[in-house]
């Protein structure tokens, strides 16, 4: 299926690896020029090189979005690039429960997941509105609606991402610019694998992924689809929402979680 993205230009934050890299690659495969973002130059360059090697168009922009000055530089570069698809994928997390999360941890979670997106939206949304077309896709989490007891601050921040996206869609009403959230479930990324492997090793349990994956599915992420999610699952959803085909989808939280999230 042709998603109609040829000629569009996108910024995907935190796309030097993981879900972000998958989203960048999928958008590029659909004909979208992609601005690959990260904080590690060699990693971001490797993703951009891979896109170019596959016949796509990609450039790199570096910067820490948790700081005003660096985020402003990224936003300026993206604005000069005339980005009309913004995928806010950056969203750091650290495991904290209610007993261990300090006020500073809550602030860090909000800054990294919410304010980092706002810094870019404030700069890039107005030109999209002036041009009469744009897509803003914020990456949330299943934790937004089913808070995780070991990630309380992160869960609250992702709930704020969903809320701000709905408000943004209403703010941009009638402009041709849509705003939606994609909320992943349990997605197998390199970081996720390391987290569970390290945890198993610390507990003296078998730590190979082949042994861990069915345990994680059964104990941590049982879902009607019967498997864990992949980066490509999220990339496909983001690419569709970025496309002209999704022009009548606005202000939603698209849960790509295998059905693990119960409907309230």
Which of 71, 112, 140, 154 is the catalytic position? 154
Q: Residue 264's pLDDT is what?
A: 44
CA dist 78 and 72 (Å) reads 10
pLDDT, tens digit (0-9, with 9 covering 90-100), for 72-123: 999 999 999 999 999 999 999 899 999 999 999 999 999 999 999 999 999 9
154 a catalytic residue: yes
pTM as predicted: 0.95
Strand partners, 227: none
Q: Residue 179's pLDDT is what?
A: 98
Q: End-to-end distance of the chain based on CA atoms, in angstroms?
A: 33
Buried b (16+ CB within 10 A) or exposed e, 156-190: bbbbbbbebbbebbeebeebebbbbbbbbbbbbbe
CA dist 193 and 215 (Å) reads 13
Average pLDDT rounded to a whole number, residues 119-137: 98
Kindly state the tokens that stand for 234: 């999220």
Q: Residue 198's pLDDT is what?
A: 87
Q: Residue 206's pLDDT is what?
A: 73
pLDDT, tens digit (0-9, with 9 covering 90-100), for 191-247: 888 888 888 888 888 778 888 999 889 988 899 999 999 999 999 999 999 999 999
Rg, Å, the chain Cα set: 18
């Amino acid at each position: 299926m042709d998603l109609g993205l040829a000629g569009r230009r996108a910024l995907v934050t935190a796309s030097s690896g993981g879900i972000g890299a998958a989203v960048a690659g999928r958008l590029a495969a659909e004909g979208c020029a992609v601005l690959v973002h990260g904080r590690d130059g060699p990693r971001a360059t490797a993703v951009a090189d891979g896109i170019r090697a596959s016949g796509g168009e990609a450039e790199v922009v570096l910067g820490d979005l948790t700081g005003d000055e660096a985020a402003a530089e990224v936003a300026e570069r993206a604005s000069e690039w005339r980005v009309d698809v913004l995928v806010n994928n950056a969203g750091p997390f650290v495991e904290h429960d209610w007993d261990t999360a300090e006020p500073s941890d809550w602030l860090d979670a909000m800054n990294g997941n919410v304010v980092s997106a706002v810094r870019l939206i404030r700069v890039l949304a107005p030109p999209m509105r002036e041009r009469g077309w744009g897509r803003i896709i914020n990456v949330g989490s299943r934790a937004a609606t089913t808070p995780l007891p070991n990630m309380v601050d992160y869960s609250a921040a992702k709930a704020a991402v969903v809320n701000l996206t709905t408000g943004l869609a209403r703010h941009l009403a009638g402009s041709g610019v849509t705003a939606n959230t994609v909320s992943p479930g349990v997605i197998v990324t390199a970081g996720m694998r390391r987290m569970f492997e390290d945890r198993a090793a610390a507990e003296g349990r078998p730590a190979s992924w082949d042994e861990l994956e069915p345990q994680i599915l059964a104990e941590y992420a049982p879902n009607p689809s019967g498997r864990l999610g992949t980066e490509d699952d999220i990339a496909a959803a983001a690419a569709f929402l970025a496309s002209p085909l999704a022009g009548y989808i606005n202000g939603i939280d698209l849960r790509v979680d295998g059905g693990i999230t119960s409907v309230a």
